[in-house]
Amino acid sequence: MTVARAQRFTDRRVVVTGAAGGVGRVVADLFRAEGARVVGTDVAEAERVVACDLSDDAARDAFVATALAELGGLDVLCNVAGIQQFAELGKLTPAGLRRHFDVNALAPLMLAQSFSEALVASKGNVVSVASISAVMGQPYNAQYCASKAALLLGMRSLAVELGTLGVRVNCVSPGGIETPMIEAAAAGLPADVNWDLIAKSQSVIPGFMPPEDVAEALLYLASDVARSVTGANLVVDRGVVW
């Protein structure tokens, strides 16, 4: 049985990155289910998704132009795309670090800037997916943690600047989610991985979350109900204790 959803986004114009899979696809579907007009993008090809490697400056600028032409403005920017590859000390490389910063921090910040004029015009908002990794040290995860911390503080900084112009900027910080990301990341774990070190971080509610639980937090922050929320970091992590 399909449950009718509230129509919080009727005719709102929404851009969702990382829309080909995982959390991003669910976010795009939920916005559409609540009446929004959505342009999704991803480096991976998928139905109803504009293909774009967001770490490529020219391709990203071209995507911004495409989205604005299609939507005729913008009410919500959702930065969901991200990458994670574990790398132990000794295996960090400039290329790996740059890639994480390019995709996880630079692209969302540049997209926010590129769409800012449209968002100021609509008094819209930005919601970005950071991570609990932005605020805690995790073994073998320096490049991801550093890039997500940069994203979180970058977005908080934009919240101050754009707040004066009527645009809200928030982050959602998830813990473990049931998506392909973790499996892909695990390829970088060392052969002699110290599981005791990893097990120090536990969630009160066991197991990984379905992507819907994270998507719902994004929609809340993007909605008018959250009109007094800006510069926030909404943690959705099943109660991680460290």
Ligand X SMILES: NC(=O)c1ccc[n+]([C@@H]2O[C@H](COP(=O)([O-])OP(=O)(O)OC[C@H]3O[C@@H](n4cnc5c(N)ncnc54)[C@H](O)[C@@H]3O)[C@@H](O)[C@H]2O)c1
Annotated active-site residue in 41, 144, 158, 217: 144
Segment 14 to 33, residues that bind ligand X, using CB under 6 A = 17-18, 20-24
Q: Which amino acid, residue 130?
A: A
Distance, first Cα to last Cα, the chain: 39
Residue nearest to ligand X (CB): 22
Does position 55 interact with ligand X (CB under 6 A)? The reply is yes
Which is closer to ligand X, CB of 122 or CB of 203? 203
SS (H, E, C) 48-67: CEEECCCCCHHHHHHHHHHH
Size of the site for ligand X (CB under 6 A): 29
Which is closer to ligand X, CB of 72 or CB of 180? 180
**Contact yes or no for 139/202 (Cβ under 8 A):** no
Task: Specify whether 144 is catalytic.
Answer: yes
CB of 143 to ligand X, least distance (A): 12
The Cα 145–Cα 140 span in angstroms is 10
CA dihedral 182, 232, 110, 38 (to 10 degrees): 70
Residues carrying an active site annotation: 144
List of residues contacting ligand X (CB under 6 A) = 17-18, 20-24, 42-44, 53-55, 80-84, 103, 129, 131, 174, 176-177, 179-182, 211
